[in-house]
């Protein structure tokens, strides 16, 4: 009896979880916002010079994408669609993102002043990081997304950006002492490496049907 | 209709977010009251947390020298912070060397007060405070040096040691978007505790000097803080050599007044270097000092006197003239104030003529 009652729950649970896992993996790897769509390149190029700041900015992006995706989904579903003002999505999304970045800035300044100073101008610039607006907009393309899916999608996309910048910071710290032709130093070699990492990430595309 | 719904909902969303941010700001930026423990408990002050250490110290009336006004570019506001400081910030690193970092020396304009702090402030800085004066007079000493006389408000007094300097604030005007601070030596008789005199030479395109020369008028309010500096007379009884050029006259006016007030019997020879007669300043005051005190001798030297100057005084660079007047420098002390070039040349000439380096004090600007 008891077993029979539990059965459907147990059956549906893995499905939901598996679906969320697929969304997460797709957002983080196959559709990596930075490596597959090349969004958010500006701060990626500028900050990936150091591992410590990369991790800091990466987690700030994760935080912002996760919550802005969720808030924007709520606003879209419960405010914009019923009121018929979906055409305002760009403005409203940007406003939400800007407010959230302000919040993140306050939190970082409070808890890690040295990270705050190392991130410098790039922290407020997360506001105009197109990766973050991109996450909110791509999320709307997936018609079937509910709140949990949006949250996971935002989180996954942020993690994808974090993985990309941390990978790049690791590589850039390794090649710091290397002899790179003068014309390729800085942004040049970084873009080439980004391209190679992006190619490697194509391999993930077989992972998810 | 859609228009009103759109505008209304956009405003509502923005409003809600703004309120949330204000609440977050109140909560996150509230560090409460923090205690500043100065010089191992010699003084304890409570300040509102969240401001920079420099700003917090200013608010309790302690002024730390800072020429850039807290932008982290001059590196003057160094203090030892033994506890309660956040980790070293990237904006401080360029101004500190390895031993300073080890001894917890920090730039107090950069770190913020987030918790109770223990710090050390040199004793002489306790005397420093801010004064709100008014410009009493602004007179030409020659073609490019002005004497700025500032009157302190009634009842306010300043105690200076002759040779010290103060900083005056240049408020924001068309050349500078924010107030800046510049240091000038005090030329006032130390007995006159209600005035500050400065000799200010016009620096082409200088932010502060342009303000003084072109915008400042008699009766204007002016903010200053000080006094700072350890360019002061020693208390030995050695004979004294003063060397100055241009507005480097200022600290010696104050020192000579002090020597006259206290009837100090030390012999003083004052070499003042200038290019031509039109560059000489304060000649009457010098004559008055010489008349009052036979041990004071003022020797102006012109390096390039003009034909119609009819100059019959000393000609040549100060460093050369000095050698004739004072052949034996070993038992004397020298005080120099002027441009870096003049000071370096003078130090070289003095040491070459037997003066030990520790007997030379200077104020470079």
The string of pLDDT tens digits covering residues B236-258 is: 888 999 999 888 999 999 999 99
The residues, ordered by sequence, that sit 6+ positions from B183 with a Cβ below 8 Å of its Cβ are B65, B67, B165, B166, B167, B228, B365
Please answer yes or no on whether B13 and A95 come within 8 Å at the CB atom.
yes
Predicted local confidence at residue A4, as pLDDT:
46
For range B131-158, the mean pLDDT: 91
Q: What is the pLDDT of residues B300-358, one digit of tens each?
A: 999 888 888 888 888 888 888 888 887 778 888 999 998 888 888 889 888 888 888 88
> Rounded to a whole number, what is the distance in Å from the CA of B15 to chain A's nearest CA?
11
Structure tokens at B1: 């209709």
Domain residues of chain A, as ranges?
Answer: 40-176
Nearest to A99 among B6, B20, B88 (CB): B20
| CATH number of the domain enclosing B164 | 2.40.30.10
Q: Where is pLDDT greater, at B346 or B70?
A: B346
Cβ-based interface (< 8 Å): residues of A facing B: 75, 79-80, 83-85, 87-88, 91-92, 95-96, 99, 102-103, 106-107, 109-110, 113-114, 117-118
CATH assignment of the domain containing B44: 3.10.20.30
Instruction: Among B5, B25, B86, select the one facing A113 at the smallest CB separation.
Output: B86
**Boundary residue ending a domain (B125, B158, B185):** B125
Candidates A50, A72, A92, A127, partner chain B, best to mutate (most B CBs within 10 A): A92
Same structural domain for residues B132 and B121? no
Render pLDDT for B212-236 as a digit per residue (tens, 0 to 9).
Answer: 999 999 999 999 988 888 888 988 8
Q: Are residues B105 and B138 in the same domain?
A: no
Distances (CA, A) of B307 to B168, B250, B277, B314: 39, 28, 10, 15
Residues from chain A that touch B13, judged by Cβ atoms under 8 A, are 75, 79, 92, 95-96
Which residue stretches of chain A have pLDDT < 70?
A: 1-14, 120, 209
- Cis before B227 (ω within 30): yes
**CA-angle at B224, arms to B220 and B228, nearest 5°:** 155
CB distance from B6 to chain A under 8 Å? yes
Per-residue pLDDT, B67: 65
Contact between B24 and A110 using a beta-carbon 8 Å cutoff: no
CA distance B72 to B76: 9
Examine the domain organization and report whether B140 and B121 are in the same domain: no
Convert the pLDDT of each residue in B169-214 to its tens digit.
888 888 887 777 888 999 999 999 999 999 999 988 888 899 999 9
| Cβ under 8 Å to A: B residues 9-48 | 9-10, 13-14, 17-18, 20-21, 24-25, 28-29
Helices (H), B141-206: none
Residues of B in contact with A83 (CB under 8 A): 5-6, 9
The pLDDT mean for chain B works out to 88
Please give the pLDDT value at position A45: 87
Q: What is the structure's pLDDT at B40?
A: 87
Task: Sort out which chain B residues have CB atoms less than 8 A from A109's CB and list them.
Answer: 28
Domain co-membership, B142 together with B247: no
Domain end residue (candidates: B228, B248, B264): B228
Min distance B12 CA to chain A CA atoms (Å): 11
Distance to chain A for B113, nearest Cα, Å: 11
Report yes or no: A47 and A172 within 8 Å, Cβ to Cβ: no
For residue B270, pLDDT over 90 is answered with: yes
The torsion angle over the Cα atoms of residues B133, B134, B137 and B138, rounded to 10 degrees, is 80
Whether pLDDT at B26 is above 70: yes
Which residue is closest to A89 within chain B, CA to CA? B10
Question: Are B28 and A110 within 8 A, CB to CB?
Answer: yes
Residue B6 belongs to some domain of the structure: no
Alpha-carbon gap: A114 to the closest alpha carbon of chain B (Å)? 5
Q: Tell me, yes or no, whether B132 and B115 share the same domain.
A: no
pLDDT digits (tens, 9 = 90+) for B85-117: 877 887 888 888 888 888 889 988 888 888 889
Helix (H) or strand (E) holding A124: helix A122-125
B329 and B257 part of one domain: yes
Domain presence at residue B21: no
Residue B58 pLDDT > 70: yes
Q: With the CA atoms of B3, B8, B10 and B15 taken in that order, what torsion angle do they form, in degrees rounded to the nearest 10?
A: 160
In chain B, what residues touch A53 (CB-CB under 8 Å)? none
Higher pLDDT among residues B65 and A38, named by residue: A38
**Of B335, B166, B147, the residue nearest B258 (C-alpha):** B335
Q: How far is B70 from chain A (nearest CA, A)?
A: 16
ipTM over 0.90: no
Cβ-based contacts under 8 A for chains A and B: 59
Distance from CA of B240 to the nearest CA of A (A): 50
Q: CA of B176, closest CA in chain A: separation in Å? A: 23
Q: Does the distance separating the beta carbons of A99 and B10 come in below 8 Å? A: no
B149 and B118 co-located in one domain:
no
Q: How many domains does chain B have?
A: 3
Per cent of chain B over pLDDT 70 is: 99
Which chain B residue lies closest to A94 (C-alpha atoms)? B14
Do B357 and B274 lie in one domain? The reply is: yes
- B269-285 mean pLDDT: 91
pTM, whole model, 2 decimals?
Answer: 0.56
Any domain includes B3: no
Q: Which helix or strand (DSSP H or E) is residue A169 part of?
A: helix A147-174
Whether residues B109 and B75 fall in one domain: yes
B326 and B290 belong to one structural domain: yes
Q: Is B112 on the interface with A (CB under 8 A)?
A: yes
Least confident of A86-90, B71-75, B139-143, B354-358: B71-75
For position A209, what pLDDT does the model report? 61
For position A3, what pLDDT does the model report?
Answer: 44
Supply the pLDDT for residue B173. 86
Residue A14 has what pLDDT? Answer: 66
Domain that holds residue B178: 128-228
Read off the CATH number of the domain in which B338 is found: 3.40.50.80
């Amino acid at each position: 009896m008891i077993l029979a009652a539990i059965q459907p729950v147990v059956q549906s649970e893995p499905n939901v979880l598996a679906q969320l896992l697929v969304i997460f993996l797709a957002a983080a790897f196959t559709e990596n916002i930075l490596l597959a769509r090349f969004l958010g390149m500006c701060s990626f190029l500028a900050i990936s010079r150091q591992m410590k700041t990369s991790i800091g900015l990466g987690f700030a992006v994760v935080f912002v994408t996760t919550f802005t995706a969720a808030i924007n989904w709520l606003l879209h579903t419960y405010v914009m669609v019923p009121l018929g003002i979906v055409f305002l999505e760009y403005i409203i999304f940007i406003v939400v993102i800007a407010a959230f970045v302000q919040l993140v800035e306050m939190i970082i300044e409070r808890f890690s002043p040295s990270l705050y100073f190392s991130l410098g101008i790039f922290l407020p610039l997360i506001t105009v990081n197109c990766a973050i607006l991109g996450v909110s907009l791509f999320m709307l393309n997936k018609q079937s997304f509910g709140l949990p899916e949006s949250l996971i999608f935002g989180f996954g996309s942020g993690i994808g950006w974090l993985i990309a910048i941390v990978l790049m910071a690791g590589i850039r710290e390794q090649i710091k002492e290397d002899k790179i032709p003068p014309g390729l130093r800085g942004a040049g070699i970084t873009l080439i490496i980004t391209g190679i990492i992006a190619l490697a990430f194509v391999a993930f595309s077989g992972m998810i049907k | 209709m859609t228009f009103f719904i759109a505008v209304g909902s956009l405003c509502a969303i923005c409003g809600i977010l703004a309120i949330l941010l204000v609440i977050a700001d109140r909560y996150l930026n509230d560090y409460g009251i923090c205690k500043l423990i100065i010089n191992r408990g010699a003084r304890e002050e409570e300040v509102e947390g969240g401001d920079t250490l420099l700003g917090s110290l200013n608010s309790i009336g302690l002024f730390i020298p800072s020429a850039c006004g807290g932008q982290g570019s001059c590196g003057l506001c160094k203090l030892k912070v033994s506890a309660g400081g956040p980790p070293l910030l990237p904006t401080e690193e360029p101004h500190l060397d390895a031993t300073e970092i080890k001894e917890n020396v920090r730039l107090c304009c950069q770190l913020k007060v987030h918790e109770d702090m223990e710090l050390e402030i040199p004793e002489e800085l306790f005397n420093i405070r801010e004064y709100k004066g008014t410009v009493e007079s602004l007179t030409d000493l020659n073609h490019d040096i002005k004497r700025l006389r500032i009157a302190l408000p009634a009842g306010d007094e300043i105690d200076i040691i002759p040779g010290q300097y103060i900083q005056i604030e240049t408020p924001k005007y068309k050349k500078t978007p924010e107030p800046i601070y510049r240091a000038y030596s005090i030329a006032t008789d130390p007995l006159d505790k209600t005035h500050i005199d400065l000799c200010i030479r016009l620096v082409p395109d200088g932010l502060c000097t342009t303000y003084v020369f072109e915008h400042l008028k008699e009766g204007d309010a002016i903010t200053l803080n000080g006094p700072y500096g350890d360019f002061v007379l020693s208390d030995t009884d050695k004979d004294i050599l003063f060397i100055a050029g241009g507005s480097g006259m200022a600290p010696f006016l104050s020192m000579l007044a002090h020597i006259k007030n206290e009837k100090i019997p030390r012999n003083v020879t004052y070499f003042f270097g200038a290019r031509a007669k039109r560059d000489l300043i304060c000649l009457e005051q010098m004559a008055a000092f010489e008349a009052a005190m036979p041990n004071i001798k003022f020797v102006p030297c012109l390096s390039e006197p003009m034909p119609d100057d009819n100059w019959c005084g000393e000609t040549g660079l100060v460093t050369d003239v000095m050698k004739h007047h004072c052949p034996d420098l070993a038992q004397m002390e020298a005080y120099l104030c002027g441009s870096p070039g003049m000071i370096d040349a003078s130090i070289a000439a003095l040491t070459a003529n037997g003066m030990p380096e520790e007997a030379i004090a200077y104020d470079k600007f």
